[in-house]
Chains A and B, each alone.
Chain A
Amino acid sequence: MSNDAKLVRMANQIATFFHSQPAAEGPQGVATHINKFWEPRMRRQLFDIVDHRSGEGLDPMVLAAAPLIKRPAPSGSTDHPPAA
């Protein structure tokens, strides 16, 4: 399974949970979960799918959550090891 497909599956699994929760929680719940647990490159990959491939395969609730998900810094912004 490609990484993208895996990521889509993971995002949709989260949305599936929030579909069963009271409606008010929906997209905010998905976004909070992804903000809390997804490393920037995973979010970058997610935004790549949302922005450039019109969210192909993603649950509508993930798309609705996208504006609430923290956009990670562009890759390369911390490309050096910390100063010792």
Chain B
Amino acid sequence: MSLIHEIDYGTPASKSEKMVTLTIDGREVTVPEGTSIMRASMDAGIEIPKLCATDMMDAFGSCRLCLVEIQGRAGMPASCTTPVAPGLVVSTQTPRLKDVRRGVMELYISDHPLDCLTCAANGDCELQDMAGAVGLRDVRYGYEGENHVRARNDGAINIKWQPKDESNPYFTFDSSKCIVCSRCVRACEEVQGTFALTIEGRGFDSRVSAGMHEDFVSSECVSCGACVQACPTATLTEKSVIEIGQPEHSAVTTCAYCGVGCSFKAEMRGEELVRMVPWKDGQANRGHSCVKGRFAYGYSTHRDRILNPMIREKISDPWREVSWEEAFAHVASEFRRIQYQYGRDSIGGITSSRCTNEETYLVQKIVRAGFGNNNVDTCARVCHSPTGYGLGQTFGTSAGTQNFDSVEETDVVIVIGANPTDGHPVFASRLKKRLRQGAKLIVIDPRRIDLVKGPHVEASYHLPLRPGTNVAVVTALAHVIVSEGLFDETFIRERCDWSEFEDWASFVSEERHSPEAVEGLTGVPAELIRGAARLFATGGNGSIYYGLGVTEHSQGSTTVMAIANLAMATGNIGRPGVGVNPLRGQNNVQGSCDMGSFPHELPGYRHISDDATRETFEKLWGVSLSNEPGLRIPNMLDAAVEGSFKGIYIQGEDILQSDPDTKHVSAGLAAMECVVVQDLFLNETANYAHVFLPGSTFLEKDGTFTNAERRINRVRRVMTPRNGLADWEVTQKLAQAMGLAWNYRHPSEIMDEIAATTPSFALVSYDYLEKMGSVQWPCNEKHPQGSPIMHVDGFVRGKGKFIRTEYVATDEKTGPRFPLLLTTGRILSQYNVGAQTRRTDNVVWHEEDRLEIHPHDAENRGIRDGDWVRLASRSGETTLHALITDRVSPGVVYTTFHHPDTQANVITTDFSDWATNCPEYKVTAVQVSPSNGPSDWQVEYDEQARRSRRIAGKLEAAE
């Protein structure tokens, strides 16, 4: 194994199909029109010296190192900014070029420290490489003059020198090593789209500055790492590289945070992770990253990680460390005892959306084949289950229709119920790039999310609807499109059932669905809805991206159908630049659904009552499978409270913190006799567990994750599991203890079984992934290359189905006692329940959940910014600090759920989506009032959590 070196072509690839032939250094080269001479040379294997150019960004032409000579043209043009032309004869190395380049280099080095041996970039410094490439041997100017390098010049203070900025927890900024190539500034603009960096001053005074001459952590910098990656010197350097040194080998793997599924190179020294660097060939991220994937991996070696299996009889007992064998035998005998005592259906399992496809497959397999029932569910229940249902009904498959590249060809984007700059940051960067090129944006969200107005990006329409009125708004959009005749009749006649369309069209045309009629309940001015509808229907390629603000409602499934209707009515399905795109929350939530984690479906979304599908698995597994759907997570908890559900195996999921109505969840868990939690840490759910099985991180195992664009990406093991076993091995050994004859030697064998049983995965194997890099399912005989875009020649279900979407107000209503509506979301630096990100330096950006409240509502209640406030609903109450902002409308408050001491889900109710039981997180009627500090409940909870984490013979855990 060696370090993966990616070729830097210097300038981005041209997409032109017209080819141009020219001669470079006597070699004939043919490249697409629009390619730079620099890139064309690199294509031919000739590396022209460069400093300010890199293929992640447009050419800039400032360093004057990449000069070439062109026959018949005067001067020495920069090869990065000069496009190829037919018949050009280019020389990259002439006596004149050599002299000029050496002279340029000499100037750079005259203002650069000569501490190469002790420099963190030693071995990975482009400046050093270029000095070598141009043959620099001497700096005739000396080093004594004006400079940015030394704190003092002959004892006098050097005002040009600036101390190192170490404020960011993950990288340093050392201005003394900067050559002002502007790569960092351009990366921040072009790749990330934040515009946090700039060049201040002119001439010799020019220097890189974060914000208005601020330190990095106080500036708008979002710590995505693009600038660090772009820096050709040691000016911007990962602190981990400074501490450890340069990596010596690397493996391409997939980020274990959000559903974008970025590809990274895990760069290693031995078994120590030096850094994670986004991989340019990663099809989802195209070489970009966010603060989580790039930097927040420190949880994997955090001291809180539990490395030994543990058992206890009662949840009030301290934990007792045991051997793996004892733990497996104990779980197996407890589960069998419970089944004998309370019936076969009295136990179940939850698969993890953070674990690999292979691991998820095994958990649903142990439930179906080992427990003998279908009581298996996954966290998608509480996020995108309505997507599965809604798209399944309308299109015939639950999957998102596009790849992420599709955004590059979109013209009008609707973002509804999603906050990509925080939840899916790398996709947000790609979207912003397209918006800067001129695509139009419509945001439908109760909050003024960052996309509504940011640097060089502004939504044409922001529809700030009242939480819970998605269906009314989307149906009103359809009303405008139909009543104004803006629908795509040709598409509908060809691809959809015309009579169903007619039925739907007459439904949405009713006056009661007009923007004017619903204005009173949605709070959105009718003119905005009309304008947005016209723009979407007539603005070219229209795409819809949505998140949990759509699904986590009592009408979540109905909104998904309304979105699908809108896409079909405007003919925006089946080609690049359009489509319906659910932004999946967790790294492998798509995969966990694909793998049969739902209680009514076997892998590949085939209903459990389908005899042929069951037979496939029955033959292979040698068991008979129940044809009845099993319990969903909320149903499991209901059944537990009622006394018929007594044992659960939970892999990598913290239902106590993430699921709604915490008190109901804890009552359900407390009523069970054997709760088995497999996780990295003693999470909140483990407070109610009887057995703890330590889990492994994504760095410690082989497998695959499937991202939101259905892309199956490899996860590669780069270190030994600290707990001793990868998660798939834990499930396998548990299955063996329960008497199942499983014998997988490697996750690739599990994938082979998936491919053999699941038609949409038929061609997927580790060998094939090795060859292809990644593929998007369906990947089978019909689609051997995978399927970047779905429904290309027609819908999966045959004809697209229009479905009426009647708005039904949620039962969760505001009133005198609870006059405000609470909605929830997430923040860039934290992830989900925060178990991982809270154990990293990301806490510098978000150390607690805060309650966003409009100044008007705050004023009425005598609340000042930063005050403790009590947040109460019909379900419960908690306290947190207020953040006064007009991002939320009057009447709406907002918080995140990343911290267990806030426990936002004490507040949320047990209302749920009509079709899937996906909880209604996004609408809770609440009251907010000033408070003196944590509620009694929080104090009690904290005490209970602290007691339940005791481990016999060990000091108390810190958290």
Contact, CB under 8 Å: A21 / B910:
no
Contact flags B143-187 to A (C-beta < 8 A → 1, else 0): 000000000000000000000000000000000000000000000
Cβ of A72 within 8 Å of any chain B Cβ, yes or no, is: yes
The residues of A that contact B628 with a CB separation of less than 8 Å are 39-40, 72
B205 to chain A, nearest CB (A): 67
Q: Which one of A50-58, A61-69, A75-83 is at the interface?
A: A75-83
B578 to chain A, nearest CB (A): 27
Contact status of A36 and B339, CB under 8 A, knowing A17-B915, A21-B804: no
Expressed in whole angstroms, the Cα–Cα distance for A20 and B465 within the complex equals 23
Q: Provide the bound-state CA to CA distance between A35 and B805, in Å.
A: 22
Contact B917 A82 (CB under 8 A): no
Query: Interface-forming stretch among B251-259, B490-498, B630-638?
Result: B630-638
Chain B contacts with A in 323-366, Cβ cutoff 8 A: 335-336, 339-340, 343-345
CA distance A55 to B38 in the complex (A): 77
Asked whether, in the complex, the Cβ of A14 is within 8 Å of the Cβ of B914, the reply is: yes
Query: What per-residue 1/0 map shows which CB atoms of B368-386 lie under 8 Å from chain A?
Result: 0111111100000000000
**Which B289-336 residues have C-beta < 8 A from chain A?**
335-336
Contact call B344/A39, Cβ cutoff below 8 A: no
Interface string of A10-27 (1 = CB under 8 A from B): 100110110111100000
**Contact (Cβ within 8 A) A37 B343:** no
Instruction: Please determine whether A39 and B631 come into contact, CB atoms closer than 8 angstroms.
Output: yes
Please give, as numbers and ranges, the residues of chain A lying within 8 Å of B740 by CB-CB distance. 84
Distance from B202 Cβ to chain A, minimum over Cβ atoms (Å): 65
Q: Are A14 and B915 in contact (CB under 8 A)?
A: yes
Given the complex, which residues of B lie within 8 Å of A13, measured CB to CB? 554, 914
Q: How far is the CA of A82 from the CA of B624 in the complex (A)?
A: 9
Q: Are A78 and B343 in contact (CB under 8 A)?
A: yes
CB-CB nearest in chain A for B631? A39
Decide if B599 touches A81 in the complex (CB within 8 Å).
no
Residues of B within 8 A of A42 (CB): 631, 635
- Given A39-B631, A39-B635: A3 and B641 within 8 A (CB)? yes
**Complexed CA–CA distance, A52 and B554 (Å):** 29
Q: How far is the CA of A24 from the CA of B122 in the complex (A)?
A: 74
B522 contacts partner chain A, Cβ-Cβ < 8 Å: no
Find A6's partner among B369, B805, B910 (CB 8 Å cutoff): B910
Q: Which residues of B contact A79 (CB under 8 A)?
A: 343-344
Cα A81 to Cα B336 with chains together (Å): 7
Contact in complex: B600, A36 (CB < 8 Å): yes
B600 to chain A, nearest CB (A): 6
Query: Do the beta carbons of B339 and A38 come within 8 Å of each other?
Result: no
CB of B586 to closest CB in A, whole Å: 22
B17 at the interface (CB under 8 A from A): no
User: Considering the chains assembled together, what is the distance between the CA atoms of A27 and B437 in angstroms?
Assistant: 51
- The answer to whether B75 has its CB under 8 Å from any CB of chain A is no
> Which residues of the other chain, A, contact B340 by a CB distance below 8 angstroms?
80-81
Query: Provided the pairs A37-B600, A84-B738 are in contact, do residues A78 and B638 lie with their beta carbons within 8 angstroms?
Result: no
Which residues on A sit within 8 Å (CB–CB) of B915? 14, 17, 33, 37
With a cutoff of 8 Å between Cβ atoms, the chain A residues found around residue B862 in the complex are none
Question: Which residues on the B side are within 8 Å of A76 (C-beta)?
Answer: 343
Contact pick for B344, options A6, A72, A80, CB 8 Å? A80
Which A residues are CB-close (under 8 A) to B803?
21
Check A16 against B808 for contact (C-beta < 8 Å).
yes
Within residues 423 to 469 of chain B, which ones have a CB less than 8 A from any CB in chain A? none
Are A82 and B914 in touch, CB under 8 angstroms?
no
- Measured in the bound complex, the distance between the Cα atoms of B912 and A36 in whole Å is 18
- Docked Cα-Cα span, A60 to B805, in Å, equals 21
* Given A79-B343, A81-B371, A82-B372: A41 in contact with B914 (beta carbons within 8 A): no
Q: Which B residues touch A82, using CB under 8 A? A: 344, 369-372, 623-624
Instruction: Give a binary string over B604-634; 1 marks a CB under 8 Å from any A CB, 0 the rest.
Output: 0001010000000000000110101111100
Instruction: Write the nearest CB–CB distance from A46 to chain B, whole angstroms.
Output: 12
Which residue of the partner chain, among B370, B638, B805, B917, contacts A3 with CB atoms under 8 Å?
B638
Q: Which residues of B (502-549) have their CB < 8 Å from a CB of A?
A: 503
- B832 close to chain A: CB less than 8 A: no
Query: Which B residues are in CB contact (< 8 Å) with A38?
Result: 629
The smallest beta-carbon distance between A48 and chain B, in angstroms, is 12
Is the CB of B767 closer than 8 A to any CB of chain A?
Answer: no
| B914 engages A39 (CB within 8 Å) | no
Measured CB to CB, the closest approach of chain B to A44, in angstroms, equals 10
Query: How far in angstroms is the closest Cβ of chain B from A34?
Result: 10
Most buried by B among A20, A40, A81: A81
A13 to B558, CA, bound (A): 12
A39-B628, A42-B635, A79-B343 known; A10 vs B607 contact (CB < 8 Å): no
Extra contacts, 12 of them, besides A6-B910, A39-B628, A81-B344 (Cβ < 8 A), are A1-B910, A17-B558, A17-B806, A19-B806, A20-B806, A22-B804, A40-B345, A41-B345, A78-B344, A80-B340, A81-B340, A82-B624
Interface residues of B (CB under 8 A from A): 335-336, 339-340, 343-345, 369-375, 503, 554, 558, 599-600, 607, 609, 623-624, 626, 628-632, 635, 638-639, 641-642, 644, 738-740, 803-806, 808, 811, 910, 912, 914-917
Partner-B contacts on A (CB < 8 A): 1, 3, 6, 9-10, 13-14, 16-17, 19-22, 33, 35-42, 72, 75-76, 78-82, 84
- Nearest 8 CB-CB pairs, A to B? A84-B739, A20-B806, A82-B372, A13-B914, A81-B339, A78-B344, A79-B343, A39-B631
